[in-house]
Amino acid sequence: MCKEPKTKLLRLYPPNSNGPTVHRETQTDDAEILSCTVKALKDGHIVAVPTDTIYGLACLAQNSEAVKKIYEVKERNGQKPLAICVGEIQDIYHYCKVKVKEDLLGDLLPGPVTLVFERSEKLNTNLNPFTSLVGVRIPDHAFMRPLCQMCGEPLALTSANISSNTSTVEEFQELWSKLAVVVDGGPIGDQTRQGSTVIDLSILDKYRVIRPGCALSATLDVLEHKYGLSENSKEE
């Protein structure tokens, strides 16, 4: 089923849902959805995926043509960086120069936080070539983590929709025709939900809030009270 070029809308079974069961048009199970999404990514396509905050558009970060395509699909300003998404904390060290304790990473990730570090030489130079920094995520989501693990390399990720309230695949339906796969994980968040909290940790013992997002208070509590980091108000 992955060979057809047209967009595939694939629905996940909702985990621990108290609501009605999602009815599917096909008998595709979640493992098949993972396999199909991985294949689409490895073939250089753009996919829409659920995360722990909002829906995202993803491609392989190491594939320069796919990175170019994701900007075209989203009509995104070429000077706005894409974050990367990985499956495990140890993966961060391959693509970022980390200046904080590993325990700090473990306290914030997986979760609705994007941590910004200096990029390593292993990261695709055509991804965000205008900056030496890169944001990295590990979404706390039962589909996204195994997706990253199965790909074996980072995904480039950007939001699929403009709205900051409840996120559904219907909100970006006008993009479906440009995507190889749309993974429908049901509604995400609520009317107060925003994107991830974005924190710059590229300077030793300092942090800078780039975007407050949905987890600012809990994140600052970890950074300041548990690890003693102080705020860097200057934009480097």
Domain CATH number, residue 200: 3.90.870.10
pLDDT of residue 16: 43
- List of the chain residues with pLDDT < 50: 1, 3-4, 16-27, 236
Residues 6+ apart with CB under 8 A from 152: none
Domain annotation covers residue 236? no
Distance (Å, whole) CA 225 – CA 175: 43
CB of 159 closer than 8 Å to CB of 57 = yes
Provide the domain limits for residue 72.
Answer: 8-12+27-231
- The count of domains in the chain is 1
At residue 162, the pLDDT reads: 62
Q: Is 144 a member of any domain? A: yes
- pLDDT for 195 equals 86
**What is the rounded distance in angstroms from the CA atom of residue 214 to the CA atom of residue 159?**
14
CA distance 34 to 51: 14
- The verdict on residue 18 lying in a domain is no
Tell me if 60 is assigned to some domain.
yes
> Which residues have CB under 8 Å from 155's CB, separation 6+?
41, 58, 59, 60, 61, 84, 85, 86, 147, 148
Answer whether 217's CB lies under 8 Å from 82's CB. Answer: no
